[in-house]
Amino acid sequence: MPRSGKRWVPIDWNFFDDGYADDLTDAAMVLFQRILIDCHRRDTNGIVSTSSLRHLGRKGWQNSFRLLLRSGRISQKDDQTYYIPSWDKWHEPIDAIHARRAADRQRKRLKNGIPRGAFRIPD
């Protein structure tokens, strides 16, 4: 994951062409990508709520979502929550990311001789 502000959701460039998506419609593939992006943007570890789905999908999103459920790309966690089973295969857990970033900040503070709790005064 790059550190310079932009965040990426890894999607294979053959996503639409390879056998992984053969059983999905174009609308279902687009919905799946929107769900991936939303989960990544909101740091949910691959968990999406029904209320988020309503905002992500276009008209008739329920049919596309049923295809995703049947194909196993999304699984139900409880009545209002779903998750992406393969999320951990491609993404580092959020807690690990936050711990790594905190350790990096501390390492840089020590390297630059900045006491803990001190804030940089803007130029």
- pLDDT reported for residue 65: 92
* Domain assignment present for 116: no
Question: How does pLDDT run across 11-53, given as a tens digit for each residue?
Answer: 666 666 555 667 788 888 889 989 988 988 888 989 999 888 8
User: What is the DSSP annotation of 81-119?
Assistant: EEE-TTHHHHS--HHHHHHHHHHHHHHHHHHHTPPTT--
* Domain assignment present for 110: no
Domain count, the chain: 1
Residue partners of 46: CB distance under 8 A and separation at least 6: 39, 83, 84, 85, 87, 88, 91
Lowest mean pLDDT among 8-17, 23-32, 82-91, 100-109: 8-17
- CATH number for the domain spanning 31: value is 1.10.10
What's the length of the chain? Answer: 123
* Domain assignment present for 3: no
Q: Is the pLDDT of residue 81 over 90?
A: yes
* Domain assignment present for 45: yes
* Domain assignment present for 38: yes
Q: Is the pLDDT of residue 84 over 60?
A: yes
Listed residue (9, 23, 4, 32) closest to 90, CA to CA: 9
- Contact between 61 and 31 under an 8 Å Cβ cutoff? The reply is yes
* Domain assignment present for 8: no
- Domain containing residue 76: 19-87
Q: What is the pTM of this model?
A: 0.70
* Domain assignment present for 55: yes
- pLDDT reported for residue 6: 60
* Domain assignment present for 72: yes
Q: Is the pLDDT of residue 2 over 60?
A: no
pLDDT over 70 percentage in the chain: 76
